[in-house]
Amino acid sequence: MENRILALGLNPAWQKSLFFDELQFGEVNRAAEAHAIASGKGINFLRAVRTWGTMEAVLVQPVGGETGRLIRDSLREEGLSARSVAVEAQTRTCTTLICGKSASATEIIEPSEALSREEVERLKREIELALASSGALALCGTYPPGVSPEFYAWAAALARSAGKPVMLDAYQGIHPVLEGGVDFLKINRAELTALTGSADLIDSLSRLRRNYPVGLLAVTDGGDDAFLALDDGMWMFSVPQVEPFVNPIGAGDTCTAVLFSEILRGVSPADAFAGGLAAASASCMSRYPAVYRKADAEHLLKSVEVKRLL
């Protein structure tokens, strides 16, 4: 199916979000609200694609233990399409502490347990089956112990050999897949600096695209300006500010999902990125990761300003 994206999310999470009027570290803090939902970059990507509504998506992921069951049930209740591979390892729980007074979020991320060699092979077989009926591949986030950096390179090569575009939204251990080439790379500014060793924006954008065969490079920086680099230039984008600002978790994944969805349906990269930034801002108004109203995103899109840098 040309209009379906296969999302690969190797590190799902059962996401707990605790909301505090004011969070004081080193003190006893009582949450005013608590919410839990399936999350992780792959799941957030899947959720955001479905809300945007121009493409379909299916997720391949490993899940295990009681949290894995909670994730499967949560996705089923949302009507999200996932091909979950059962593994022995307990799927991690991530907890976000959100302070209303400072409008800030603190993430507590559990370590992931290792996958066995046989489980990794089962994931590969599931990916091969799902990719055969998908028109594009999105590689979303980190991978757990037991999965090597070559895994993403293998998946990207599999997609490219079939003429299917590849989006990469990750930065740890991605040199093998970058060396093989991806059509689209979306990271944040801190990750760009970590990958290139340069804190100078123009230099780091140029250096990454010079060192690796990356077609499009999109860089976000929270609520600050975002940047897009292509063969024919670089652009800066203002990011819509929202009120109320509730929860930023999943905003970057939302941006990636909408950016990829729009490009795949023929929208220009600049317009696609602007749409992704608007949807990401809209998602910050929700208590749940990558949950937003498309009408809010379309309204915020009107305030995105674009300036050519080179």
Torsion of CA 265, 266, 272, 278, to 10 degrees: -40
Residues 11-66 have pLDDT tens digits of: 999 999 999 999 999 999 999 999 999 999 999 999 999 999 999 999 999 999 99
Could you tell me the residue range of the domain that residue 128 belongs to? 7-23+30-308
The verdict on residue 241 lying in a domain is: yes
Task: Kindly report the average pLDDT of the chain as a whole number.
Answer: 96
**pLDDT score for 293:** 98
Does the structure show a pLDDT above 80 at 1?
no
257 vs 236: CA distance, rounded Å: 20
**pLDDT score for 34:** 97
Residues 78-96 have pLDDT tens digits of: 999 999 999 999 999 999 9
**CATH code, domain carrying 165:** 3.40.1190.20
The verdict on residue 203 lying in a domain is: yes
Q: Rounded mean pLDDT of 97-121?
A: 95
- Which two tokens mark 137? 């591949």
How many domains does the structure of the chain reveal?
Answer: 1
The verdict on residue 143 lying in a domain is: yes
The verdict on residue 207 lying in a domain is: yes
The verdict on residue 1 lying in a domain is: no
Residue whose pair of structure tokens reads 């801002």 in the numeric block: 281
Q: In the structure, what pLDDT confidence band is assigned to residue 2 with cuts at 50, 70 and 90? A: confident
Q: Can you list the positions of beta strands (E) in 33-163?
A: 33-39, 56-63, 82-86, 93-99, 104-109, 136-140
Residues 124-162 have pLDDT tens digits of: 999 999 999 999 999 999 999 999 999 999 999 999 999
The conformational region for residue 39 under phi > 0 = left, psi -120 to 50 = alpha, else beta, is beta
Q: What percent of the chain has pLDDT over 90?
A: 98
The verdict on residue 2 lying in a domain is: no
133 vs 112: CA distance, rounded Å: 30
In 97-238, which ranges are continuous DSSP H helix?
A: 117-132, 150-161, 175-180, 189-196, 201-211
The verdict on residue 194 lying in a domain is: yes
